[in-house]
Every structure is written in structure tokens, then in C-alpha cells.
Amino acid sequence: MAAADEEVEVGSPGIRPFWAGTISFGLVSIPVALFSATRARSTVGLRMLGEDGTPLERRYVCSTEETPLDWDDIVRGYEVKKGKFVVVTDDELEAIEPKKSRDIDLRLFVDQDEIDPKYFERGYFLTPTGGSTKAYRLLATVMEKNGRAGIATFVMRTKQYVIAILAENGILRAETLRFADEVRSPDDVGLPEPQKTKPAAVTKFTKAITTRSKKVDFREFLDDYNERLEKLARSKQKKKEDVIRVDEPENAGDSEGAEVIDLLQVLQRSLNSGGAAARRPAKKAGPSKKRASKKK
């Protein structure tokens, strides 16, 4: 085990923090690193092909002249009214981006039950860095003991986020929250008004729910679509049905497989070592070059 004052690296060859900063509230500052608590859903890639089997590609095309456009012909525009756009430059977009910061501004604490689950968007783990284990553990312990959640804001990749910070089993995690205008109400979808129910019906449903109540294990719920799709493709290949051979460019589709590491091991190592120095990602060089096409 590393000494309490020894700096060790957060992460491993297969998993890295993609953001590092400080939880700040009052006079308290706790350096942390941010890890995604989820993996991207595994999907089987399907290529779009022409009738002769040639792989197709997407390109921007002028909607009036139906001609392909080069990047130099493309700008981004904000639609101020139907069919009328104001062109916005990269420099103008960069000027109005949220101010870059490494602070998670913890603004208030609330009861965990006050946060409606429909506001939760994506989950993350927060690990202590830079020798912050003591303050990290103290915050996690007090929040968990009192059933409190912190509401905070921070900027990541030029975008402003509202997050809920929660504590569970001595570990802090963050849930990005949807903004109020992103959440629908029952009235928005036309749900009927609640009605009185008969006691017999309540008893029947209570019994049905009780007989099916048990501790959930999400490993029992699997998406086997990819497996069935691969089985279908292999079967058709074996029968030589609808098989098209296309010459691919050299090195097409090559990618290095990342080693899958248990994130809980990373958290435990960070806590046991008295904090760690997280690797910060390289500074982003300018705004994205993706642009919307203009009409000619």
C-alpha cells in the first residue's frame, strides 16, 4: 500500500479520468477526478452499401443545386425565423462559451428524496486526488449519514452542467441533471386525472406486486439483440446468401482494444493511497469544426 503522502496515478491502462478539478463550497476545497460510471452500449455496426456492395459515405450537399460542398463552402447559421439565418463565426461562438473552470461549485445541499429521478441524466464517479482523501471521506460520510445530496454546477468541454453529488458506501458520485425545460410534466403528455379505485382492485394488485417483490440483480437483464444479429449474419454467410465481397483500404477499421478494468478497483486504490494525482486531459484546441450547411 502506498504511503499517505505518496502521489499515485489515478486510473489504469484501460480507464482514465477525463476531467479533474476541485469540489468547492465555503472554505472547503477537495481535488477530485471524474470517471464515467457507465460504458457505451455494445452495438453491432451495420454499414450502408450501394446495390453493388460499395460502402456509402455521408456528405453535405446544397439542397437547391444538389451539389456536394467542400468544408470551405460551409458556415454555421442561427435560424432567427423560418428560412432566415444569421451566420455565426467560430470566434463568436468561442467568445460566448461558458468560462473555463476547474471548480465544481457546490451551491446547496438537499434531501436526496427531493431530486426527482427523471432529472438524472448520466452517472459518474468522483475520486480523491492530490492527497485529499481525508476531506473526501469526511464529506462522503457526513452526506451519506444525513441523506443529503449536493447540487453543483461546473463546466466540462465548454458546456455548463448542473449535477447532483451523492454519497454511497463512502464513495462520492455525480449525476448530471437535466434542466427544467428538458423535463415533461404529466400534463404535457395528456395523462388522465387520478381516479378512485375499488378496495378489491387495490388488494388484487397489492398481492400481485408482493408475490413478485425481491432484490433486483441487473445482471439478469441482458440485451441479446447483438448476439441474434451476429447469429443471423453467420447463418447467411454459411449458406452463401446475400454475401458481398468489397475490397477495403489498408488499415481500415483498425482500432486498439482497450483493457477493461473494474472502476471500483481504481476508487479503492485511490482511497487507500491517501489521494492521487489525476492526469488532466490535454487542453482543447478551439471549437468543433462541425458546421451546418448553407443554401446556395
pLDDT tens digits for range 115-170: 999 999 999 999 998 777 899 999 999 999 999 999 999 998 888 999 999 999 99
pLDDT band for position 270 (cuts 50, 70, 90):
low
Q: How confident is the model at residue 100 (pLDDT cuts 50, 70, 90)?
A: confident
For residue range 44-98, what is the model confidence (pLDDT) as tens digits? Answer: 778 888 888 888 888 888 888 888 888 888 999 999 989 899 999 989 988 888 8
What is the pLDDT at residue 108? Answer: 93
> Are 73 and 291 in contact, with CB atoms under 8 Å apart?
no
Cell of 13: 491502462
Task: Determine whether domain 1-39+102-180+273-287 maps to CATH 2.40.290.10.
Answer: yes
Rounded distance between C-alpha atoms, residue 17 and residue 266, angstroms: 10
- What pLDDT was estimated at residue 276? 41
Higher-pLDDT residue of 180 and 251 is 180
The total of other beta-carbon atoms located within 10 Å of residue 118's CB is 12
| Residues 77-87: tens digit of each pLDDT | 999 989 899 99
HSE-up of 281 (CA within 13 Å, CB side)? 16
- pLDDT computed for residue 249 by the predictor: 56
- 13 vs 142: which has the higher pLDDT: 142
In this prediction the pTM is: 0.65
Number of H helices, E strands in the chain: 5, 11
Domain ranges of the chain: 1-39+102-180+273-287
Confidence of residue 171 (pLDDT cuts 50, 70, 90): very high
- Those residues whose C-beta lies under 8 Å from the C-beta of residue 23, and which sit 6 or more positions away, are 29, 30, 32, 104, 106, 126, 139, 152, 165
Whether the pLDDT of residue 25 is over 50: the answer is yes
